[in-house]
Chain A
Amino acid sequence: MIPAFNYLRPTTLAEACAKLASPKTHAHAGGTDLLGCLRDGVFAADTVVSLSAVPELRGVRKNLDGGLLIGAMTTLAEVGADPAVAAGYAALAEGALAAASPQLRNQGTLGGNLCQRPRCWYYRGDFHCARKGGDKCYAVEGENQFHCVFGGNVCFYVHPSDTAPALVALDATVRITGKDGSRSVPVGQFFVGPATDYTRETVLAPGELVTEIVLPPQPPGTRGAYRKVRARGAWDFALAGAAVVATLAGGRVSRARIVLAGAAPVPWRVPDAEREVTGQRLTEQVVRKAAAAAVRGAEPLAENAYKVELLRGAVEEALLRLA
């Protein structure tokens, strides 16, 4: 059961940020992750601040530069169904629709999807692990089939989001508002890996909120895709995945972004793989080389070497869809 907490529903962003500056206070967007964490005692909340009454956080709008602005409270279902997103940002639309289940997508938001807590059954379970202040990561010598093959350090979870890899590939920016004002951070720099600081997952400071996702206009000839590999047909996190965005001119790739999902504690961009396709036609041979480059340097744990194969396969499939 969920322990009791104070529940606030401010109507302005400033009020929300002010409330959120207090300790043991958490923002409530869709709640699909937060309430589970509270119920399972992963962390505790004295106060939960609902963002549902702040009007400007919702919806997809055209930006002045021709790109899109997506409010953080826009649901994954809305993002997935939005014609402008589908037309210009296919990788994001596919990522949004690959997440969870229809019911959860109706409730879960894009901002919340980026701010999910680590998906690790030791962290989520009744284990006093390093991330919760304990002295070890249980996954290192435990059940680590679903843990990371890149970027692990002290803590070996994978980032659970299906939209974050797409947003990194799209060079999107996160708009953040705090009680002292607003700032913008590229999505690629929004996430904090355990090698930098294993006590948090994002750059958000207390009292700060993700308010908006800024999608830049994409050059003509840009295509994107998100391939998610999962054991179950719905309501399952990525075992592996790849978000790819490439601009093609005259049949050749002029610019590419390849970002792995289910691979690392943050969306894992693989520049080596991007270089393999840049200036090339997306032939099977080129795609295979890029996929091999994408997984080079992977450091699997005892039970998750299979992920390397899956990541390679996901990159191949996603790239071939752009050809």
Chain B
Amino acid sequence: MPRPDAEPRHRTRGSDPGPRTTDHGPLGGRHERPDARAKVAGSTRYVGDLSLPGMLHAGVAVAPIASARVLALDTAAARAVDGVEAVVTAAALPGANLVGVIFPDQPLLAADRVRMVGDRLALVAARTPEAAWRAARLVEATLEPLPAVHDPVAALVPGAPLVHDGGNLVRTFQVARGDAGRRSADVVVEALYHVGGQEHAYLEPQGCLAIPEGRSRITIIASCQCPFYVQQAVARVLGLPLAAVRVEQAPTGGGFGGKEDYPSEPAACAAVLAFATGRPVRFVLPRELDMQVSTKRHAMVVRHRWGADRNGRLRFAEVDAVLDAGAYVGISTVVAERANVSAIGPYDVPNVHVRTRIAYTNNLFGGAFRGFGAPQVTWAAEATIDRLARAVGLDPLEFRRRNLLDDHRRRICTGQLLRRPVLARECLDRAATLAGWDEFHARPRAADTATREGMGIALALYGCNLHHGGQRLDRSSAVVILQADGSVVVRVGLTEIGQGNLVACQTIAAQALGVDPTAVQVWQPDTTTVADSGPTVASRGAHASGMAILDAVRRLRTRLDPVAAELLGCRREQVELAAGRARVAGEPDRSVTIAQVAAELAARRIEAIATGWYRSRPRRFDAATGEGEPYEFYAVACHVARVAVDRDLGVVRVEEVSAAHDVGRVIHRDALEGQIQGGVVQGVGWGTTERLALDHGRLVNPSFTDYLIPTFADAPKVNIAIVESDGAGGPFGAKGVGEPALIPAAAAVRNAVVAALGVELDALPLVPPAIVAALGDAHPFAWVAEEEHEHVRSETVAPGR
């Protein structure tokens, strides 16, 4: 319920913006997020809160087993349920029976074949949610079970059950650099890492509302990260032109990648039902179903063979990774591209060979998740780096310092040169200082107590924005309207999903127009008001929308500045905008308010609306060799974790994480810190307690009671160091931080736990069973190499299913 007292501070400040702004502007500050009060007060209306006259509710019948032939579907009992208005199976679809962003491998409704638990068999629309879901359960499917494959490595072995006719190997990505270095390595580490998947655990489940206009147009209000993907998916299944499909971004209660590609599926379902019934249809997934059917972070198996010389310089790195795509490709190819580039981290390695393969299985559907393939390979890389450091007898910090990329050694594995400054060393030092690394290690610690403390470090190199492979999507649209009272409307094509895009866009627009942020109202995307801006992913939201806003402001000023100059009696080149005023540069006393200028524009009927556009710089990249410039620029992150581990009880407590981030420039400090805190906690959860328990492809813990995301009792203290610099190329020099905030966290925790216990742990998450098992057959660091060319083979923990 909207509270009458929720907004007045806004209005007061908005009506009198001038005196409250400073010349510096809001950039890097902490003004209140425009969406904060309503969300805290509970008055934000999410899709599940929306209702329209005559609205129906959708339900869906799904396959309970992972691999089967569909012999028959009987919907008679479902249709007989009181309140049911429509039951739709594959045969009744108006357009293409196809969802999926990249590969045409996924039907909206299974017609003859089931490939995962949760494949849709039939859709139901009914007058109540109860009737819809009851009817969905009454759809009778006759399924003939077929062999299934649940291990991605086994899936690639000839003779494995085929998930799709073309074979289980979807794609292979590779990058190689140098080759002969192996002979010069004094120490070689071989390891096999099993890195588990992760549920996004957004608080708001997937949902949308479809509102038809006859059979010719439709509006979708969707909880999503890319209204344009939803638009395309709905147009395809309904057989409509894109212009006839309007998608409005709903307030979205978290995404983390889980609402990048997946929302196209429920939206297509709701749209089909809306056209079948001619009535609005709301489709909100119950949590258990949402967790089973929506995309997950990919489980990965990563094999390593890395070598270093006795001085602690990395000589070579071989990485062979397999992603478990689940039954459909979705956007796994793009995830694998990022994993492939991220596998070496921010280290200078002369000889590199990385191979990343994608395997179909009959498991959960892998998709986008904060970090996008990078966290898994980072977890492996940072484990191996620690092994090598121990093998050559160096402190993990010192070993890293000897190998980090810097301004002089800045070529990554693809051959791309990083832009200066390269801040890996700076991030490492800042994080280590915040964590008190030296003091911690100088302090004596009892070795005979059950509780052991440990500290671990991990770094990540993050390619900002979209990979070359997704370059065609790397553009964005903005509209800026100066209202007659001096307030400003901003529309962008990228979405607020809790991460802070509204406040980032507000800050950027306010800074560029020299007004108080409260004078700027940013509106969520709507496909009828902005052009396709691609997805809100890849830590690109603030970057891409900010750049488009700056372009729009530039164009607006071509009409605003001449009017202001006239009012001020100066040349238009002399006009500057700051502190809510247009003024003569160098003569701050000669000024008028922006509101006066806006009123003048209105009086003269001058166009006070401007569009803006951004597209990423074209880059050279060879997809076959993996060489070139996969990303435009990069960010570095370093996390140091301090843990306490109970040896007897196998329980890990992450006490503190110190995070240093190379962000270019801060746009909004609260939002930035919030992203880092949230990323760390989500990474800690993935690394320690979050385990997807799969029984023949079926998730047996699809609830927050059984799937253990961190509570506040588990959240570590997060210390933050912001490393700023110029030259990043984003708005005011900002780089994205949404994903770097998560990527190294679990790896730092893993290294801390290993340091605490003195045994290697090669499977994520570090749940008590894994720790007890590792301690059970522990040979504490027995393998530290003392001879030349000693090859070290890690004993690996059996993979979870």
Q: A: which residues have CB within 8 A of B?
A: 1, 3-4, 36, 40, 101, 121-122, 124-126, 138, 142-143, 145, 229-236, 239-240, 303-304, 306, 309-310, 312-314, 316-317
Contact = CB atoms under 8 A, between A and B. Distances in A.
A240 to B, nearest CB: 8
A3 B700 contact: no
A304 B93 CA distance: 47
Contact of A313 (B648, B700, B703): B648
Interface in B656-697: 688-689, 693-695
Interface residues of B, number: 37
B768 interface: yes
Interface string B578-618: 00000000000000000000000000000000000000000
B723 interface: no
A233 B713 contact: yes
Contacts of A101: 711
A236 B708 contact: yes
Nearest to A240: B649
Given A40-B288, A231-B768, A317 B648 contact: yes
A134 to B, nearest CB: 13
B649 A314 contact: yes
Given A121-B700, A313-B648, A317-B648, A142 B768 contact: no
B214 to A, nearest CB: 31
B767 A231 contact: yes
Contacts of A240: 649
Interface string B756-797: 000000000001110011001000000000000000000000
Contacts of A145: 693, 767, 769
A234 B130 contact: no
Contacts of A235: 705, 711
B415 interface: no
B702 interface: yes
A214 B459 CA distance: 57
25 contacts: A1-B129, A1-B130, A4-B130, A40-B288, A125-B288, A125-B702, A126-B288, A143-B700, A145-B767, A229-B650, A229-B651, A230-B651, A231-B689, A231-B708, A231-B767, A232-B689, A234-B714, A235-B705, A236-B708, A306-B768, A306-B769, A306-B772, A306-B773, A309-B772, A310-B768
B695 A310 contact: no
Contacts of A3: 130
Query: Which of the listed residues A3, A233, A240 has the most CB atoms from chain B within 10 Å of its own CB?
Result: A233
Contacts of B710: 232-233
Given A235-B705, A306-B769, 4 more contacts: A101-B711, A124-B706, A234-B711, A317-B450
B711 A313 contact: no
B733 interface: no
A31 to B, nearest CB: 15
Contacts of A310: 648-650, 768, 772
B693 A229 contact: no
A3 B130 CA distance: 7
Interface of B: 64, 129-130, 133, 286, 288, 450, 646, 648-651, 653, 688-689, 693-695, 700-703, 705-706, 708, 710-714, 767-769, 772-773, 776, 801
A185 B698 CA distance: 41
B695 A143 contact: yes
Looking at A4, A122, A138, A145, the one whose CB has the most chain B CB atoms below 10 A away is A145
The 6 A-B residue pairs whose C-beta atoms are closest, nearest first, are: A233-B713, A313-B648, A306-B772, A234-B713, A306-B769, A143-B693
Contacts of B772: 306, 309-310
A248 to B, nearest CB: 23
Contacts, number: 90
B708 A232 contact: yes
A124 B650 CA distance: 26
Contacts of A126: 64, 288
Contacts of A233: 653, 710-711, 713-714
A19 to B, nearest CB: 24
Contact of B714 (A4, A121, A232): A232
A309 B650 contact: yes
A29 B705 CA distance: 20
Among A122, A304, A309, max chain B CB count under 10 A is at A309
Given A231-B689, A232-B710, A233-B711, A313 B649 contact: yes
A313 B649 CA distance: 6
A122 B701 CA distance: 9
A121 B713 contact: no
B575 to A, nearest CB: 56
Contacts of B711: 101, 232-235
The residue in B64, B703, B768, B773 that gathers the most chain A C-beta atoms within 10 A of its C-beta is B768
B611 to A, nearest CB: 44
Nearest to B133: A1
Contacts of B706: 121, 124
Given A122-B700, A231-B689, A142 B695 contact: yes
A249 to B, nearest CB: 29
Contacts of B708: 231-232, 236
B768 A239 contact: yes
B769 A303 contact: yes
A145 B711 CA distance: 21
Contacts of B714: 232-234
A306 B432 CA distance: 34
Nearest to B691: A145
Contacts of B651: 229-231
A71 to B, nearest CB: 27
A314 B133 CA distance: 44
Contacts of A138: 695
Contacts of A125: 288, 700, 702
A221 to B, nearest CB: 27
The CB with the most chain A CB atoms within 10 A, among B701, B702, B801, is that of B701
A140 to B, nearest CB: 11
A225 to B, nearest CB: 15
B210 to A, nearest CB: 20
B476 to A, nearest CB: 39
Contacts of A234: 711-714
Nearest to A231: B689
A145 B693 CA distance: 9
A304 B770 CA distance: 10
Most buried by B among A4, A40, A229: A229
Contacts of A232: 689, 708, 710-711, 713-714
The residue among B649, B653, B693, B713 with the most chain A CB atoms within 10 A of its own CB is B649
A124 B706 CA distance: 10
Contacts of A313: 450, 646, 648-649
Contacts of B286: 1
A3 B708 CA distance: 27
Contacts of A4: 130
Nearest to B775: A309
Contacts of B694: 143
A289 to B, nearest CB: 16
Contacts of A312: 648
B282 to A, nearest CB: 13
A47 B262 CA distance: 39
B713 A309 contact: no
A138 B694 CA distance: 12
B647 to A, nearest CB: 8
Nearest to B702: A125
A188 to B, nearest CB: 26
A311 to B, nearest CB: 10
A113 to B, nearest CB: 15
Contacts of A1: 129-130, 133, 286
Contacts of B653: 233
A242 to B, nearest CB: 11
Contacts of B773: 306
A172 to B, nearest CB: 27
Nearest to A227: B649
Nearest to A312: B648
A246 to B, nearest CB: 20
